[in-house]
Amino acid sequence: METKKYSAIQDQNLIVMGELPVVLKEIKLFLDQGGCEPVLIFDHTEGRQWDFNFQGTLEEVLSRAIVPEDENCNKPGPGRPRLGIVSREVTLLPRHWDWLEQQPGKASGTLRRLVEDAMKHPSDDFIIRQKQEALGRIISSVGGNLIGFEDFLRILHRKEWNKVEEVIKEWPLGIKKIITTILNE
């Protein structure tokens, strides 16, 4: 089972990094002890920002945020992801599947097998591109006024990893830790 990592940032300072239950517990504790909002939560895989309702007890927060891993629980069909959950399904709408089913040679079955295989065994280029996009989203959200911000984005898209440390040397330690963690995952 793949475990996603998340980072929580407040004013360009890293609060916590880890799996979702750990991150949510630490943020809840941070806010309950007088920490101020906004706290930005990003996943390391796609760089998406996540919003959670932190009202109530820790158990209530976790129960609202974490979806059970039961394989038989209400799986959405293609093109119908659950609200607030990243869809792992192909983003073809059902009418596209219907069209593919009618094609000679059952093209839809072939397409499904190809997509499922690609999701199980992502290529190195796909993984690098995914890291680039995730870092680009995270840094664009939190670091627009950092020295060398534009240089970092150029280096990121050119895949010049050896220049990253030089550009981010004056950045806050938390932001640097997120960058190095994602690049080394």
How confident is the chain (185 residues) per 10-residue block, as mean pLDDT? Answer: 78 86 86 82 85 73 61 49 44 56 61 70 79 86 81 88 88 88 86
CA–CA separation, 172 vs 185, rounded Å?
Answer: 20
Residue 109: the pLDDT is 64
Residue 1: the pLDDT is 41
Question: What pTM was estimated for this model as a whole?
Answer: 0.61
Q: Give the N- to C-terminal CA distance of the chain in Å, as an integer.
A: 16
